[in-house]
Amino acid sequence: MTRTNIAIRPYLRTKGKFADEEYEPGEEVLYALTTSKILVLGAGGLGCEILKNLASSGFKEIHVIDMDTIDLSNLNRQFLFRTQDIGRPKAEVAAEYVMKRFKGVNIIPYYGKLQDKDEAYYAQFQVVISGLDSIEARRWINNTLVNLVDPEDASSVKFLIDGGTEGFRGQTKVIIPTFTACYECSLDTISGQTTYPMCTITNNPRLPEHCIEYVSTIEWPQSHKDQKLDMDDPEHVTWLHERSLARAKEFGIEGITRSLCLGVVKNIIPAIASTNAIIAASCCNEAFKIVTSSNPILENFMMYSGNDSVFTYTFAYERKDDCPVCGGL
């Protein structure tokens, strides 16, 4: 028996005051935990925390999908990676590291896109935890899991736990396809990308962001014609940075940095390791409760804010009858 199992066993041998009346603690609960199959989507800042938490919570078979490779900029918060891992697939390195630290845990990585896998692949999991940074990818997995549901087969319902972070803010959603609000139902709560009036950035820039936006939308097309600005190309980023500095100097504006240029054009919000840790803990706590039935699960949306102090709020997001994905099901 592993040290993880020994540590968890006392919690599964007793019945807490919040547990359902039908819940019966015992070895069967531990068996359900250790034989369940969990899928983690994303092995970045949030995904690294989730994988570590799942392994330390008693889960034995974990699958992970990620299409990215490790970059130097990842190392300050994605703690499963080291300098020698740069250029390697995140999913593979994360799996290797966690399995090395947690004996008896089997993590199966896949380096590629979510869309590479068919419905039969996703049907094998009891819980899917999303640590994705893409709205479209979230919509895709949400749609896929809703489509898996067979009204005559309860086992076809796959729980989706969606975690997301944005600076010092984060959220956790527990989605039970066709029973609770799906991801698409809450799409209108997602804030859009910040935009700036064209007249302001052209004639009267007041902020560093105005200068960067002008250079990227006006000067770049004029200077480079049909070539698209690629913010993953260091030469393009350098050009944008230098031209933005020149325009800012012209209008007496300070604060132009290379990282700000990346943030404005790519709409990047700095990732905070502590926020990732908090939201990952929430996601894994829900996965543990779902699999063991030891406590009621989140109903169904939790938001966290750590900007000025610590604030959390939980509420039940309602299903939309006109939802294009789950409406009418």
253-309 pLDDT per residue, tens: 999 999 899 888 877 667 789 999 999 999 999 999 999 988 899 999 999 999 888
Whole-number pLDDT of residue 329: 72
Domain at 198-266, CATH homologous superfamily? Ubiquitin activating enzymes (Uba3). Chain: B, domain 2 (1.10.10.520)
Which of 199, 261, 283, 284 is flagged as catalytic?
Answer: 199
Q: Which residue has the tokens 């997001």?
A: 317
C-alpha span between 282 and 42 (Å, rounded): 16
Domain ranges of the chain: 3-190+271-315, 198-266
Calculate the CA dihedral of residues 285, 290, 296, 300 and round it to 10 degrees.
80
Whole-number pLDDT of residue 15: 81
C-alpha span between 43 and 80 (Å, rounded): 9
Architecture of domain 3-190+271-315: 3-Layer(aba) Sandwich (3.40)
Catalytic residue status for 199: yes
Whole-model pTM: value is 0.80
Whole-number pLDDT of residue 265: 86
Q: What are the C-alpha distances in Å from 147 to residues 131, 140, 150, 152, 177?
A: 21, 11, 8, 14, 9
Residue 12 three-state SS: helix
Element of type H or E holding 211: helix 208-214
Six-digit token string for 329: 């099901």
C-alpha span between 242 and 244 (Å, rounded): 5
C-alpha span between 284 and 51 (Å, rounded): 9
Calculate the CA dihedral of residues 255, 260, 265, 268 and round it to 10 degrees.
-140
Whole-number pLDDT of residue 270: 72
Instruction: Decide if 172 contacts 163 (C-beta within 8 A).
Output: yes
Whole-number pLDDT of residue 252: 94
28-80 pLDDT per residue, tens: 888 999 999 999 999 999 999 999 999 999 999 999 999 988 988 788 889 99
C-alpha span between 105 and 108 (Å, rounded): 10
Q: What rounded mean pLDDT belongs to the chain?
A: 90
Q: Which residue has the tokens 């899928």?
A: 39
132-177 pLDDT per residue, tens: 988 889 999 999 999 999 999 999 999 999 999 988 999 999 999 9
